[in-house]
């Protein structure tokens, strides 16, 4: 694609999206070695969800289990940030980029279900993907609302979606996620449309890197348990 232009070709945008979606999905990446070992049972959590192997802030520090649903929610955070930036593209380009981004999330998710969960039944995969799409719609509504209403609303949305409204949440870490999401939005906004579309950037930080900034907030600005669960 020539420098300084955005393509409206569906084929070109589809090709560009391979790298862009990888930047979003790798943040919560996991594997399930047992899925590649014939006859070896896959570990499950108390709800029967397959548990994989992963590392990084989301799992090691936040304490999430490496499951398909948690990978989905981590991915959604990053896809949402990128979609917000795509909305700033010229009108004739924005929708095609948003549509291909959304489609690619579910292409990757279906591949994840086959490779790491041995879901070879198309009907079973469609059930998972249908549930995932409903979760994505909820994420869009709640995170978009927070764009207008502020960080306390964003914290509440993260708590509901990513952390499933758990009572044992460390809200300092929720505040770090909120600060990270604001950082990601600012980073993408600071770049040209062409830089964003051509994957000339990355989410090189993790929420833990926002701990100092969160710690510097005045007591009145800190996200309390009450604010985050409002």
11-40 pLDDT per residue, tens: 999 999 999 999 999 999 999 999 999 999
Identify whether 57 is part of a domain.
Answer: yes
- As a whole number of angstroms, the distance between CA 52 and CA 35 comes to 9
What domain range includes position 80?
A: 10-228
Residue 3 lies in a domain: no
Q: Report whether pLDDT(221) > 60.
A: no
Q: What is the pLDDT of residues 118-132, one digit of tens each?
A: 999 999 999 999 999
Q: Contact, 54 vs 29, CB < 8 A?
A: yes
User: Could you tell me if residue 2 is inside a domain?
Assistant: no
Q: Is 1 part of any domain?
A: no
Task: Write down the pLDDT at residue 8.
Answer: 80
How many domains does the chain divide into? 1
Q: Answer whether residue 219 shows pLDDT above 50.
A: no
Asked whether residue 61 is domain-assigned, the answer is yes
- In-domain check, residue 202: yes
Tell me the CA distances in angstroms from 97 to 121, 122, 139, 215, one per residue in order. Answer: 30, 27, 19, 37
Looking at residue 227, its pLDDT comes to 45
* pLDDT of amino acid 2: 44
Residue 222 lies in a domain: yes
* Residue 4 belongs to some domain of the structure: no
Residue 90 scores a pLDDT above 60: yes
């Amino acid at each position: 694609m020539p420098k300084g232009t955005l393509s409206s070709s569906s084929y070109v945008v589809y090709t560009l999206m391979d790298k862009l979606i990888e930047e979003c999905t790798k943040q919560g990446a996991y594997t399930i070695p047992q899925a590649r070992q014939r006859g070896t049972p896959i570990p499950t959590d108390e709800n029967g969800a397959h548990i994989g192997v992963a590392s990084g802030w989301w799992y090691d520090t936040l304490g999430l289990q490496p499951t398909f649903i948690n990978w989905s929610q981590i991915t959604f955070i990053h896809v949402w940030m990128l979609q917000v930036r795509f909305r700033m593209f010229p009108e004739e380009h924005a929708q095609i980029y948003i549509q291909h981004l959304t489609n690619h999330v579910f292409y990757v998710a279906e591949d994840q279900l086959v490779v790491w969960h041995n879901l070879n039944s198309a009907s079973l995969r469609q059930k998972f993907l249908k549930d995932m799409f409903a979760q994505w719609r909820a994420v869009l509504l709640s995170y978009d609302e927070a764009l207008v209403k502020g960080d306390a609303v964003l914290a509440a949305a993260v708590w509901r979606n990513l952390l499933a409204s758990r009572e044992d949440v460390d809200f300092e870490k929720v505040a770090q996620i909120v600060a990270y999401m604001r950082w990601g939005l600012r980073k993408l906004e600071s770049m040209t449309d062409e830089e964003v579309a051509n994957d000339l950037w990355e989410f090189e930080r993790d929420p833990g890197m926002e701990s100092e900034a969160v710690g510097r907030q005045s007591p009145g600005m800190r996200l309390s348990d009450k604010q985050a669960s409002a």
